[in-house]
Structure 1
Amino acid sequence: MAWTVDEQLALTACEAVAAIQAGKLRATDYTATLLARAAALASLNALTALNMEGALKAARRIDALSPDAKARLPLAGLPVVVKDNINTAELQTSGGTPALAGFKPNHNAPSVQRLLDAGAVLLGKTNMHELACGITSTNFAAPGPVRNPYDPGLIPGGSSGGNAVAVAARIAPAGLGTDTSGSNRIPAALTGCVGFRPSVGNGGAERRYHDPDAVLPLSHTRDTVGPITRTVADAALLDAVITGESALPSIALAGLRIGLPVPLWDDLDPAVEAVARAAQHTLEATGVTFVELDMPDLLPLNEQTSPITAHETLDDIRAWLVANHAPVQTVEELALSIASPDVREIFEAILADPFARYYHAALTVWRPRLQQLYATTFSSQRLDALLFPTTCIAATPLDEIRGSSVVSVNGRVLDTMLAYLRNTDPAANAGLPGLSVPAGRTADGLPVGIEFDGPLGSDRQLLAIGSACEQVVGALAPPTI
């Protein structure tokens, strides 16, 4: 059959793979359509590199396979985008910063390699908040700030903003981003996508995705790669390929017990709260039991863990530069050419390292207490998951002069990063899995996300819960571009 452009753009990742495996859609045609879409929407600044020749060459290889060979590839012909801080040998890994522009590591990150081995096509690398040190993706380096496809005058969230925009704008059906404090889930929420942060725990066997020295880092304790997609089923597909796990468990919403952490429902923008509460009530009508949780220690404990990332960044970036034979070998050299004013300020603080004296207690005292709070809450209340709005506010105006450094929340001017990270940061600090799914749109048409957090290692169950939720809450209409 002949597919129109609109029909191809509407395909989810699962639908696209099924069509290619069945011989109904040529991978080459699909890839060409998305490459053209990327070029047409270049003003969104979602991509830092487009793999024109390489993507078409990979797609032709898929088309040349026999039907049986295609059926054995779970991602046969699926174009994907990869955040520009995740190692790819074919395209640059710049971290969105000038000192690393054009730098190609000599190997793919293991998570990327597993996607490619499964038949995925690398479409391009995505723009981001410079060096992942922010949540707006207002990058002052080329190609410029990432723009929200629902309103190009607004931020898309970050730091994986380019991934979310590429997926939301139908440039790609799926992508890999990274999440340290909320960098996958925040942009997913602000652009109507699904953002998944897999379990990290204390590292080692508890870490779901293993990408050592293959991601330009912020914190080895907290960093992880994760999918950004348009549906939970698509996120589950990428997760299964990366981990080798099987189909999602069967989940019935009726009978689930889900906690509502009061500190993460407090002081929300009314427009966001209205959408999130409507989603909660929809789930309640299916038989989900919601349990209010006071958790007064949640945010204070989380604040005590903040020195972990601030202290680890210096040594972790240095180790990545050396391990990957980058064109600059010290953080001091890297920092000299930082383009974004807010990131320059952060790196001035990182280089001074005022957090060193607090690091040991944050890692060995406060983080374990935060983890114990979560474990005790899940156990004592017999909870399957927690639920709350992914962010306190929807997308806010993009500031190309100051870099979107402050926002207004209920009449109060707050630091943008702290305002957006409030709800996503605690579970990330504790190493738990988190999944942001679209809940609806505000009266102004802006996407709102709700997040499900689960116990450590409950990733597939959490994805199954999110998928069941998605079926009753409904999908968002795509942006009009």
Structure 2
Amino acid sequence: MNRLCTANQAAAAIRAGQASSRELTEDLLARITADTTVNAIVETRPEYALQAATAADEAVASGADLGPLHGVPMTVKDAINVAGLHTTWGDPAFADYLPPADATLVERLKSAGAIIVGKSNVHTMLGDFGQTANELYGRTNNPHDPARTPGGSSGGGAAALAAGLTYLEYGSDLVGSIRLPAAYCGVYGLKPTAGVVPLNGFQPPGPPAPITEFPNPSSLGPLASSAADLRTALEVTGGPTGKAMSWHLEPPRHRRLTDYRVGVVLDHPDAPVTDEVGKALSDKIDALASQGVKIVEGWPEGVDPSDQAEDFGFQIGLFFALHGEDSDFAPLPQIIEQERRRMAARATWQAYFQDIDVFLCPTSFTTAFPHDDRPFEERTIDGRPYDAQVFWISHASLTGLPAVSMPIPTAGLPVGAQVISAFHEDDTAITFAELAAG
């Protein structure tokens, strides 16, 4: 079987008896062991994985009910708890920590039949959106050019997918940590609607975080080799916890590409795109228009993208303050005003999506850039501020809207286009990305 097939294709082959979970798992573990360049997967559990694969094949033979990811070997980000694997957050202080239980999303992946074979690398304490390196496991490299970054902090997962070292990955996105690596490595990444995937089992080792109803800008979401894999992963992991709770993924607005009305912005003075990114995205928009897709240029009415990017920066500062880093971060009236602005921004985007189905913009202004070990505040990318990477991902993050980073084919380094859709309409963004890739 093609080692670069998608998770859905692998699951279908296993169900049909065209491939065995054992063979796929053995082959995947061998590829991970043989890798000497990318350094994406930092820990595996071969004995467990092979036993689970054998059991998966026996279930197929017996005619048992099979989940949508039955027998598919996959990985998750180091920061997500998996019983039997270390959760280190890339910090040597947590090198020996073994969580007592699976994160909720891991429980759900396993219930869907997936086999969690190992963990992918992260930046130390998830503290970098542009690179992935730590003292415990070292640096992860971009498979397209090992001298360049795979992005961060979910760079290990994105690089593993691009290198054929996993069939599916689950990461986290606070400041673009799913979408930026997906763009730099040429894979798909989804930041779901805020709160759709439970965060239980996603925190640094130590006492449980205090319960709060304050909005958490972090999201857990999948990275994959296809948009369809994103849908499958979200379908099996989304929804609130509790036996009495139910959830389903809202269907997409359209199932034909030509039915979509697409808002488009491809550049902005605060984060001007490179020529390579600009050409790839412009060519893609031209191709969509030639296929009959309705293109509507410009930001939504009432959206000041610079102001919203700045407001997102405040929200990130507030997030860390609530987690104990700066108790004097801002006075209460300013926090109240920023919360009003955040909800007003969501309402403005929701009004926009009454007439527009998805909004397409760059995921980043640049392609993958060379590794940079300088202090954070001294880093630049082609003479631009390092944190300019945050501009394009900030609007979906501020508002909690779902956003897919989809790869745009190029002759050079990968380019990512970001597809944003209305609140709780994740599958509209996913389906558009799936149709647009055809």
Report the CA distance between 1:26 and its aligned residue.
1.5
Aligned to 2:397: 428
What is the alpha-carbon distance in structure 1 between the residues aligned to residue 147 and residue 8 of structure 2?
31
TM-score scaled by length of structure 2? 0.89
Report the CA distance between 1:271 and its aligned residue.
0.7
Of 419, 429, 432, which aligns to 1:462?
429
Cα deviation code 1:20-59 (max 9, x no counterpart) = 1112211111111111111111432212211222211211
Report the CA distance between 1:279 and its aligned residue.
1.0
Do residues 283 (structure 1) and 288 (structure 2) align? yes
The aligned runs of 1:133-152 (5 Å cut-off) are 133-152=127-146
The change in CA–CA distance for 1:76 and 1:363 in structure 2 (over 3 A counts) is: same
Aligned to 1:378: 353
Of 122, 136, 145, which aligns to 1:128?
122
What is the alpha-carbon distance in structure 1 between the residues aligned to residue 116 and residue 334 of structure 2?
38
What is the alpha-carbon distance in structure 1 between the residues aligned to residue 51 and residue 392 of structure 2?
42
The change in CA–CA distance for 1:214 and 1:142 in structure 2 (over 3 A counts) is: closer
Structure 2 residue matching 1:43: 3-state secondary structure: coil
Aligned to 1:210: 198
Q: Given that residues 311 and 356 in structure 1 are in contact (C-alpha distance below 8 angstroms), is that contact kept between their aligned partners in structure 2?
A: no
The change in CA–CA distance for 1:131 and 1:357 in structure 2 (over 3 A counts) is: farther
Aligned to 2:71: 77
State the AA in 1 paired with 2:345. Answer: L
Q: Given that residues 90 and 137 in structure 2 are in contact (C-alpha distance below 8 angstroms), is that contact kept between their aligned partners in structure 1?
A: no
Report the CA distance between 1:365 and its aligned residue.
2.1
Of 13, 22, 41, which aligns to 1:47?
41
What is the alpha-carbon distance in structure 2 between the residues aligned to residue 359 and residue 154 of structure 1?
40
Cα deviation code 1:79-127 (max 9, x no counterpart) = 1110011111121111111121131221211111111111111111111
Report the CA distance between 1:230 and its aligned residue.
0.6
Q: Given that residues 137 and 162 in structure 1 are in contact (C-alpha distance below 8 angstroms), is that contact kept between their aligned partners in structure 2?
A: no
Aligned to 1:254: 258
State the AA in 2 paired with 1:142. Answer: L
The aligned runs of 1:319-338 (5 Å cut-off) are none
Do residues 88 (structure 1) and 82 (structure 2) align? yes
Do residues 32 (structure 1) and 26 (structure 2) align? yes
State the AA in 1 paired with 2:48. Answer: G
What is the alpha-carbon distance in structure 2 between the residues aligned to residue 405 and residue 456 of structure 1?
37
The change in CA–CA distance for 1:246 and 1:447 in structure 2 (over 3 A counts) is: same
Aligned residues: 418
What is the alpha-carbon distance in structure 2 between the residues aligned to residue 67 and residue 378 of structure 1?
47
Structure 2 residue matching 1:82: 3-state secondary structure: strand
Cα deviation code 1:211-248 (max 9, x no counterpart) = 2353449x952111100001001111111112364796
TM-score scaled by length of structure 1? 0.81
What is the alpha-carbon distance in structure 1 between the residues aligned to residue 68 and residue 414 of structure 2?
30
Do residues 307 (structure 1) and 335 (structure 2) align? no
Structure 2 residue matching 1:466: 3-state secondary structure: helix
State the AA in 2 paired with 1:407. Answer: T
Do residues 390 (structure 1) and 363 (structure 2) align? yes
State the AA in 1 paired with 2:225. Answer: R
Q: Provide the identity percentage.
A: 28
What is the alpha-carbon distance in structure 1 between the residues aligned to residue 141 and residue 29 of structure 2?
18
Q: What are structure 2's unaligned runs of at least 5 residues?
A: 239-246
Report the CA distance between 1:456 and its aligned residue.
0.3
The aligned runs of 1:429-444 (5 Å cut-off) are 429-441=398-410, 443=411
Q: Given that residues 266 and 278 in structure 2 are in contact (C-alpha distance below 8 angstroms), is that contact kept between their aligned partners in structure 1?
A: no
Cα deviation code 1:246-275 (max 9, x no counterpart) = 796451111311111366586110111000
What is the alpha-carbon distance in structure 1 between the residues aligned to residue 42 and residue 310 of structure 2?
34
Report the CA distance between 1:372 and its aligned residue.
2.4
Q: Given that residues 81 and 174 in structure 1 are in contact (C-alpha distance below 8 angstroms), is that contact kept between their aligned partners in structure 2?
A: yes
Structure 2 residue matching 1:254: 3-state secondary structure: helix
The change in CA–CA distance for 1:358 and 1:92 in structure 2 (over 3 A counts) is: farther
Report the CA distance between 1:461 and its aligned residue.
1.8
What is the alpha-carbon distance in structure 2 between the residues aligned to residue 247 and residue 76 of structure 1?
23
Report the CA distance between 1:294 and its aligned residue.
3.9
Q: Given that residues 192 and 449 in structure 1 are in contact (C-alpha distance below 8 angstroms), is that contact kept between their aligned partners in structure 2?
A: yes
List structure 1 runs of 4+ shifted beyond 6 angstroms: none
Of 359, 364, 380, which aligns to 2:339?
364
State the AA in 2 paired with 1:432. Answer: L
Aligned to 2:381: 408
**Root-mean-square deviation over aligned CA pairs:** 2.4
Q: What are structure 1's unaligned runs of at least 5 residues?
A: 201-206, 319-349, 472-481
Name the one with the larger helix percent: 1
Structure 2 residue matching 1:212: 3-state secondary structure: coil
Report the CA distance between 1:139 and its aligned residue.
1.6
- Bigger mean CA offset, 172-181 vs 286-295: 286-295
Cα deviation code 1:356-401 (max 9, x no counterpart) = 667613642221122122123223xx10010011110000001245
